[in-house]
Amino acid sequence: MSKLQAEIKKRRPFESPAEEAFLNLVRTYGVLEADFLRLFKQQGISEPKYNVLRILRGAGGDGLPSLEIASRMITRVPDVTRIVDRLETQGLVKRGRRSEDLRVVVVSITKKGIDLLAKLDEPVKQLHCRQLQHMTRGELEELSRLLEKARTTT
């Protein structure tokens, strides 16, 4: 019986190694994500909101259109516009238009948003280290390589 089988109390073997690998991936994500969800909740944001804020901070002062934000998201979300709406209500982002094309609405991070991310930078870094400290650099690099390989088939 595999460790995953025992964790989820599955009596019969998995249908295939692919099924077991997929479920292992989902289970691992859930376990690792829980710590981040708690951290973000303490600051009044969700993981998708955090992701949008990081994307906008990385984009610099010019900001980005919503479609560009959506294309850079780590996990797909159905409606970036609603996330931006909520962030704007919280004063963490603002919307504007570029003078060269007034049709395009651009989202940029505010000082309040930058300050919130600065407050989260060290705790996020510490969580990454704490969660995966039992793995060697080589193992982490191999894990990343295998995950990237898995994504190339979709």
The CATH architecture that domain 46-151 belongs to is Orthogonal Bundle (1.10)
Residue 150: half-sphere exposure toward Cβ, Cα within 13 Å:
11
pTM: 0.85
Domain positions in the chain are 1-42, 46-151
Percent of the chain with pLDDT over 70: 99
| pLDDT value for 4 | 87
- Residue whose entry in the numeric block shows the structure tokens 């600065």: 118
What is the C-alpha separation between 56 and 81, in angstroms, rounded?
Answer: 14
pLDDT tens digits, one per residue of 75-122: 888 789 999 999 999 999 999 887 777 788 899 999 999 999 999 999
Question: How many Å apart are CA 47 and CA 31, to the nearest integer?
Answer: 14
> What is the pLDDT at residue 136?
96
